[in-house]
Amino acid sequence: MEDMVRDLEARPCWKARRAAKAGGRTALARAANALICMARAAINAVTSSPFLELQSLANFAWKPRWRVVPAPEPAAWGRMEEGFDASHAPARKKAALDYALEGEITNPHLRAFAATPLCDALRHDVRFDYWRRYSRCKKELIESWAALQQLKRCVQRLSGPRIHETGKGLTFVELCSGRGCLSMLLAHTFPDANIHMCDSDGRMKIPHLSHPSMRNVSFHLEDIFHDDAARTVRDAVDSAHLDGGYCLVVGVHLCGDLSRRAVQLWRGCGADALVLCPCCLPRRRRADAFGFHVVDLARKMRVDGYGLWCTMLYGLLAAEDDSDHLDVMCNMCVDEDVTSPQRSFLTAVRRGPGLEGGGEKVGGGSRHVGVVPGRGAGKWRIVA
C-alpha cells in the first residue's frame, strides 16, 4: 500500500484519481473472491460428514404442497351423509340475475319474466351463464319484455281474430340482436315461430342457442348496412308469405343511423310489421344524411333531442312513395315501465284484417307526419 501511495504522489493529479479508482475496484474484487473461497471451504467441510449429508437430503427432499382427495363413488353422488344439515351447505355464489330477482319485484315487466320457465333456465342452466352474470341483465330483460309486448300487439293486428298461441306461421327478424335477449323471449313465447338474429359482431359467444328452447333460432353474422342483411330479411318475408304467415322486423335500442336503416329495410323488403326502439342520436355528418342536424334542431326548438329523433323516424316510417300503396298503421308510444331513458317504441303494421283499431292509419292521401322543415332551424315544426 505504501508503494501505491508513493506511486500516486509521483503522478499528475488526473492520473492519480484514475489509478486510485482502479486500485479500489481491484481491492474489492480481491476481498469478494476471498469470501467466496472461505464459504466454499466451509460448505465442503460440513457436507463431508455422511450423517450430515443424509440429514440434508431428508430436509430438502421434494414434498407436494397439495393433498390428494379421492373422488367419491358414483353411487354416493346423490346420497346425503348421515347427520348432514342442508342448511349449512355452501350456497352458490349470487350473480347479477339473482340480485335482480330477489325480494319484491316492483317492475311489471321483470315480474312477468320471473314467472316464466325461462327464468329458471337462466338461473340454473350453464348455457345461460353469461346472462346470469351479466351486470346489465335486468335492463336488457325489461327492454326486451317491453318489445315483446309491442310485437304481440302487432301480431294481433295482423291476424285479427286468429290467435297465434305457438307462433306457427310467424317469422321474426331481430336486427342488431347482440346475444339475443329478445330472441330468447320470442323463442319461449312462440316455440313454433322462426326467429332470425342478425348482428355483425363475430366475437360473441352464444352457447345458449344450443338449449332445446332455442331450437327455432338461427344466427346470421351480417352487417345490416350490407346487402346480405337485406337478402336475409327478404328471404324471411318470402318464406313467411309462402306459408301464409307474417314476418315482423324488430330492433331494440338501435344506435344512430341504425334506426333509419331498420326503417329502410322494413319498407324495402316488404315485411308486415316493424317494432323499433331508437337509442342514441346520430352523429353530426354531412348535410345530406338523414338526422344529422337533430341535435342542433332540438336545441333551437327547445325540445328533447331524443323525442325529436323519434318523431323524425316516425315521419320516415309513415311517409309514402310510389312503390308502396298498402295501408300502414303507425304508432309511437312511451313505455313508462322501461327503466332506460330511451323508451320510445315505434310500430308500423301493414295489410291485415286487424287494422281497424288503434294507431294512425296512413296511406291514400293522408297528411304529412313528422318534422316539417322551415326556412331556418328555429322554424321547423313537429307534426304528429
What pLDDT shows up at residue 44?
A: 65
Cα–Cα distance measured from residue 19 to residue 25, given in angstroms and rounded to the nearest whole number: 10
Q: What is the pLDDT of residues 36-50, one digit of tens each?
A: 777 677 666 655 555
What pLDDT shows up at residue 351?
A: 63
Query: DSSP secondary-structure letter at 321?
Result: B
Helix, strand counts (H, E) of the chain: 13, 10
Query: DSSP secondary-structure letter at 280?
Result: S
What pLDDT shows up at residue 228?
A: 92
Rounded to two decimals, the pTM is: 0.69
What pLDDT shows up at residue 86?
A: 42
CATH architecture entry for 136-383: 3-Layer(aba) Sandwich (3.40)
What pLDDT shows up at residue 355?
A: 47
Q: What is the pLDDT of residues 324-354, one digit of tens each?
A: 555 788 889 899 999 888 899 999 998 654 4
CA angle 200, 201, 202 (to 5 degrees): 110
Q: What string of DSSP letters covers 79-125?
A: -PPTT--GGGSPPPPP-HHHHHHSS----HHHHHHHTSHHHHHHHH-
Nearest to 317 by CA among 271, 354, 379, 282: 271
What is residue 218's three-state secondary structure? strand
Scan for cell 397439495, then name that residue. 66
Backbone angles phi, psi at 328, to 5 degrees: -125, 135
Cα–Cα distance measured from residue 328 to residue 345, given in angstroms and rounded to the nearest whole number: 16
- Domain boundaries defined on the chain: 2-44, 136-383
What pLDDT shows up at residue 46?
A: 53
* 10-residue averages of pLDDT along the chain (384 residues): 54 51 63 72 59 48 48 41 45 83 91 92 89 91 94 88 79 93 94 94 88 91 92 94 92 90 91 93 72 83 88 82 64 90 91 50 43 50 51
